[in-house]
Chain A
Amino acid sequence: MSKVADMRRFPGFLQLTLLCLLVLYAPLMVVMAYSFNDNTSITIWGGFSLRWYEDVFFGVEAPKFKQAALNSLTIAVMAATCATVIAVSSAVAMMRARRLRGRTASFALINLPLMVPEIVTAVASLIFFSAIGFTTGYATILVAHIVFCIPFAYLPIAARMQSIEDTYEQAAMDLYATPAQAFRLVLLPLMMPGIFSGFLLAFIISLDDFLITNFVKGAGIETLPTAIFGSVKQGIKPNIMAISTLLLLVSVGFVTLSYLASRMGQNKTKT
């Protein structure tokens, strides 16, 4: 090797990166592997089997988990949709209005759910809902989810808008488009990759949430994370590992989707 070294490289950094990946992936890989274990005892390997997946879909606890999954899914879709609509509207105001009173305050407000620790948000929501006499349940979960999804939807949308010059809208207006048409025909299509990423991010964040949901859900309703938590409290069972693996795959699928969408967006606007 020559003495003239690449100044970018440092010895040992590759090893640390691999260690980083090992720490991140080892637990997930192990759980994935053991979800195919054909043994009631979770510790001893008893050969490959799909019995725990069968158990997830058709077992004793299947109806409970199915209902929880359905709740998680519908809440995530609705919360992400509302959060995305609010985020788009806010992003347009924040990034396009030349004069906006309280821009800094608005920025802080939109990001507030990121700044307040989750447990504090959970406590505050519980107190608020109980104080105004709002019955805890499906609706309270949905409202709480919309709130903390907003900044997650906002960030990619605002980032996307920042890279769209306002000359596009000016050009549209110059070519006789009304402000509404300029928004619908030009800005909205250009923002689409950001909106898509924002929606996916909000969706996953909603699906992911345990702590806030656990506080505001009330009795009698479970989302997937609260159901899993409740089950894990009595010890890790193999069916939980199968559910975890399934959820893991869903997450990976969404990340890939979001990654592809952002790449498509980049290709289109590259000039």
Chain B
Amino acid sequence: MKIEMRDIYKAFGQNKVLEGVDFDLEPGEVHALMGENGAGKSTLMNILTGLHKQDKGTVKINGVETVFKNSLEAERSGLAFIRQELNIWPEMTVLENLFIGRELTNAFGVLKTKEMQKIASDIFKTLNISLPFDKEAGFCSVGEQQMIEIAKALMTDAEVIIMDEPTAALTDREIEKLFEIMKELTAKGVSLVYISHRMEEIFAICDRITVMRDGKTVDTTPIPETSFEEVVKKMVGRELEDRFPHREAKPGETVLEIKELSRKGVFNYVNMSVRRGEILGVAGLMGAGRTEIMRALFGVDQADSGEVFIEGKKVSIRQPIDAVKHGLAFITENRKDEGLILDFSVRENIGLPNLGSFAPNGIVKANEEKQFVEMMVKRLSVKTASPETIIGNLSGGNQQKVVIAKWIGTSPKVLIMDEPTRGIDVGAKREIYELMNELTERGLAIIMVSSELPEVLGMSDRILVIHEGKIAGELGRQEATQEKIMALATGGN
């Protein structure tokens, strides 16, 4: 399918989102769509797939001007959009998910399960996926859920598949698998639009790249003719210094020590310690138990055994409030689900873990809270119209800054950051790295769990690699390389 989008304009109320965007898609190509959060990528794709209607401009499909009435019509015409938030019914089986809304039935409305299984197994075969049909989708890994979505798209005979941040939650092995599938798809003539913030992947898999900035197309270039630096420059509209700021750590005494922490079936006998002013990177494959260790440390889940020492004193952490009282702070991997209250304003979110200090006797001192929040917003340069703006309206990067702000307010000794820059654009990432440096300079200890190896290598003073619930090894900043980390993470040595 050949797609030409010309001079697309779109505004939501006063908010001009697209101001003259051009975008082309050739049959069988992988076309990267890049741009900072809020550049208009999603809106453009939503117009292409019929969710929104453009105010101006034309969309031609195979040379014919087309306006879809709704997403369903676009889907029937062969355009599939796999969103970042996967469209999965967790309580239903893999097979039920594959056929949701278009189940095959006989004349009496009875499901034709055999036939559906046959179709599904054919699709799985072409994609080289093995997944039991009767497994509940909620028990599938994110990678497997994505495979279900891709299979679903193929079952509708999609000729164009748009993927929004498909690898954000995938392990390296799953990413490899995804890339294989993508290659098979393009060989069949399917075109792919690949929206991602991960430069390495784009250069590995894509044929062309379109960069968007502030609702406009900057340009479209074949991948071999451009470079990492050039793309970043186009995206942010300026030269970006190195991706990671210079880091000079002077670790002090040990502030947190974990001994023999275990949770049955999840992680075993984990020992780790972190010092003042240090960033401890925690790497490993998805599902290795990194997040689970942090959750147990913070009292979100219960550990079965083990001890935690803070500044040499043994502490008991049964629930998050205990952890907060002992000077721990936890930035979870999923800010919308566990980090923020989306209906709350910026002020209320930042205030939440700090109510103890604004409301010592239960009555909220509104002025103190306001001043504190304004100070935090300024210090972290959160881009928000006002502290009263509802947090759900901010971009991902700014939401993440608010999560950080709310925890810094509690003056923690140890800050646990789980995937601190997931789904955040390049410019905001750099700001968060700089903030991490500033915090450690003031003596804060940071434990950073991350799936992005460049980030682990660029920011950590020391790296722990987790493999299947155990610490597989420790690497110093100087000796660590991607290869060494991956070897440990996959159980090699």
Instruction: Verify that A and B bind, or say they do not.
Output: no
Which B positions have Cβ atoms within 8 angstroms of A?
none
